[in-house]
A and B are shown apart, each in its own frame.
Chain A
């Protein structure tokens, strides 16, 4: 109680004078007291969001004329630094609790039933764009490869060093897809070629691009931004 009180007093002081030290959530490896408090609250919010999550509630869909044009590029680096994956040799590697871990080529992924959606992409910063994506339902894919869908997490590793993870319930939601196409064309490098996750029930940073590795696991995989302080569940 005393800790919380002092934290709140610090919060008040910071509200008046932001550039004071501490409370900045800036060094995840060396959390101070405020960081630990925020982390505990974020973990609590993960649980609340998992309880709020209804697998039958669909993210809103939009008309073709509502699609944002031109599309908005966003990453933790500039558009000139986007990695280009060779699509002819590309293989999606599988790991964790999956029965058939044989890697998947693009042709194999395209041979599975494709699902199209026009949905809203909401960035953690607050802006939103509407786009059209199509690809393989993640739930279909996970069942196809014999993934243990009782696992807590599905984790992703990307060609650009990015990584992220989602809860299994959200992974199995019917609008969660491994997208291969964007705006009716194969994905381009800035928008996550050759395969990206499109999950309209979560914030934008939970939609990793250029996925090279996918796993089902019970070991918390974290994520690039999540490990720096963004809320892990980040459901919409």
Chain B
């Protein structure tokens, strides 16, 4: 069965649960950021209406983010799905990128093009960095080895911020591409059928 659909159900399930996790984590993260901004700007909105609510959402949402992410990773390796993300060759990324800009990139159902492979692998990496740097900020004493990995509490906050920024940039591109090629959306819900 799973060979015939474009997106197997574990992928779809973890994808949409991750959408919820991302909205909660980024929204509440912006609320937390605003309490003590790292840069000279604040976010125009955040989840929860004060710092306490933002933290409460963030530390509740992290469980969904992490467990859903772990399920995705385990499934990805068990099913061999991860192989679709590789190889990532710069030359192919460039030719698919310029092809996409010229609106001249063939869309093959169930196959990731080189730009997709790079972006998907990149956002997964950013997600892992976000979780590990987040744990370092939450538990800089008990998880000192993790915190040291990121250069200590102070730098870990910046790492966490830039991981979020990377994920947000991915989401922008991701949504833009779905808007440009809307036929890719229904299979992400129903699974679709390979020809």
Contact = CB atoms under 8 A, between A and B. Distances in A.
Most buried by A among B63, B142, B153, B157: B142
A24 B144 contact: no
A19 B157 CA distance: 27
A57 B55 CA distance: 25
Contacts of B19: 12
Interface residues of A, number: 44
B132 to A, nearest CB: 15
A17 B63 CA distance: 23
B134 to A, nearest CB: 12
Contacts, number: 118
A231 B53 contact: no
Contacts of B13: none
Given A18-B27, A124-B51, A126-B35, A60 B141 contact: yes
B142 A25 contact: no
A95 interface: no
Contact of A14 (B27, B60, B154): B27
Contacts of A23: 47-49, 53, 57
13 contacts: A8-B20, A11-B57, A12-B23, A19-B49, A24-B49, A41-B59, A41-B63, A42-B60, A52-B139, A52-B142, A58-B141, A60-B144, A126-B33
Contacts of B74: none
A125 B20 contact: no
Interface in B27-50: 27, 32-33, 35-36, 38, 45-50
A230 B58 CA distance: 12
Given A231-B55, A231-B59, A11 B47 contact: yes
* B interface, size bucket: 35 or more
Contact of A229 (B20, B45, B47, B53): B53
A59 B32 CA distance: 23
Given A24-B53, A38-B57, A231-B55, 7 more contacts: A18-B27, A24-B48, A41-B63, A52-B143, A54-B142, A124-B55, A235-B141
Contacts of A200: 141
B53 A38 contact: yes
Interface of B is mostly: helix
Contacts of A150: none
Contacts of B141: 57-60, 200-201, 235-236
B23 A11 contact: yes
A127 B46 contact: no
A15 B47 contact: yes
Interface in B125-145: 137, 139-144
A26 interface: yes
Which 3 residue pairs of A and B lie closest in terms of their CB atoms, listed nearest first?
Answer: A229-B52, A25-B53, A41-B60
Contacts of A37: 60
Contact of B56 (A14, A16, A41): A41
A124 B138 CA distance: 10
Given A12-B20, A15-B26, A18-B46, A125 B36 contact: yes
A141 interface: no
B24 interface: yes
A104 interface: no
A54 B142 CA distance: 7
A158 B82 CA distance: 56
Contacts of A39: 56
